[in-house]
Amino acid sequence: MPQAKTIINKTKTTQPLLSPGHRACAGCGQLLAARMVAESLGPNTVIANATGCLEVTTSPYPETSWGIPWIHSLFENAPAVASGILAALKQRGEDKKIKVVAQGGDGSTFDIGFGLLSGMWERGENILYVCYDNEAYSNTGMQASGATPWGSNTTTTPAGTGGTIDAIGSHQRKKDMIAIALAHGLKYVAETTTGYLMDIKAKVKKALETEGPAYIQILSPCVPGWRIKPDQAVLIGKLAAQTGLYPQLEYVNGELASKTKVADPAPKVDEYLKAQGRFAHLFKGPRGAEQLRYIQDIADENIRKYSLR
Ligand SMILES: Cc1ncc(C[n+]2csc(CCOP(=O)(O)OP(=O)(O)O)c2C)c(N)n1
Ligand code: SF4
Ligand SMILES: [Mg+2]
């Protein structure tokens, strides 16, 4: 009897670095951004991920969406965990082959993990930190963070007075983390949005080429928190950049190396804000109109400050 031929399946399967099937809301800007980051990082990477929506939705025990070595740290200590991983890789002589990345939301980056992030930057370690900025503590119900923009409604910003003019919604200006990162003498600092997915990838690639600490902050719309439709993360990310409210910037060795220009005239902030339920109160009455003018001033200030036209 002739021998049956052994059929060898030569088809290679490539495991996605961040797989679908995670538990994030449909249309989550953060997951979209994280996929771009993961694809740009490639498999020779170790990620320390702070607590938050990205961590919770991608790693419900015993499942994981990550095709990259990935560890969940505490909410506040992803940078310290990343430093430990880098020290271990150095010990094994593998720190030049494998990139260490720490990542988290704006709550862990701007506020609760800031001390440990500042310490990591002070040490000048060759670690990339990525902040997915959805401008609130989304995972616990959209509480305000240091990244919440002026005038935005959250679950912890009651109507009140304060700041330059009376505000409904947050009356604190967004903390300037880009300036704070630059003040630490970082080698590479960049800001971008989900409106420009290829820009996210390009900035991650540039950060990888940088020897030394790097920071990338990505505006990542949150569907229930911003009260937007699930298909709007890209459009809203584009408008944030095009109005000047969230400029796309890149600093190399402390110098502004590239920026994406806005149109002349730039779209008004109303176009960006009216798509989002968190700003609905701005479109009611004379007080709302006054707030809109104040937010327009913030965008115009950015356009002047970074010469975006
Ligand atoms: C020390 C500590 N404080 C608070 C929490 C509760 N907590 C878990 S996730 C989270 C919100 C995360 O917000 P952010 O970092 O902006 O990420 P997002 O969920 O918005 O993506 C909070 C407050 C915690 N786990 N640990
Ligand atoms: S709550 Fe917001 S950040 Fe969290 S998974 Fe949903 S869309 Fe994403
Ligand atoms: Mg957040």
Q: What pLDDT digit, counting tens, does each position of 156-191 carry?
A: 887 554 444 445 678 889 999 999 999 999 999 999
Q: Which residues line ligand 2 (CB under 6 A)?
A: 24-25, 28, 30, 53, 57, 134, 138-139, 222-225
HSE on the CB side for 236, CA within 13 Å? 24
Q: What was the pLDDT predicted at 169?
A: 78
Please give the distance, rounded to the nearest whole angstrom, from the Cα atom of residue 265 to the centre of ligand 3.
31
Ligand 2 atom with least separation from CA of 27: 7
pTM of the entire predicted model: 0.94
Which sequence spans correspond to the domains of the chain?
29-305
HSE on the CB side for 234, CA within 13 Å? 7
Distance, in Å, from the CA atom of 46 to the CA atom of 67, rounded to the nearest integer, reads 10
Best probe residue, ligand 1, of 30, 31, 49, 51 (max atoms within 8 Å of C-beta): 51
Q: What CATH number is given for 29-305 in this structure?
A: 3.40.50.970
Q: Which two tokens stand for residue 227?
A: 């009260």
Q: Which ligand is nearest to the CA of 225?
A: 2
291 Cβ closer than 6 Å to some ligand 1 atom? no
User: What is the full per-residue pLDDT of the chain (309 aa) written as tens digits?
Assistant: 445 454 445 555 577 999 999 999 999 999 999 999 999 999 999 999 999 999 999 999 999 999 999 999 999 999 999 999 999 999 999 999 999 999 999 999 999 999 999 999 999 999 999 999 999 999 999 999 999 999 999 988 875 544 444 456 788 899 999 999 999 999 999 999 999 999 999 999 999 999 999 999 999 999 999 999 999 999 999 999 999 999 999 999 999 999 999 999 999 999 999 999 999 989 988 888 999 999 999 999 999 999 999
Of 78, 82, 111, 79, the closest CA to residue 95 belongs to 82
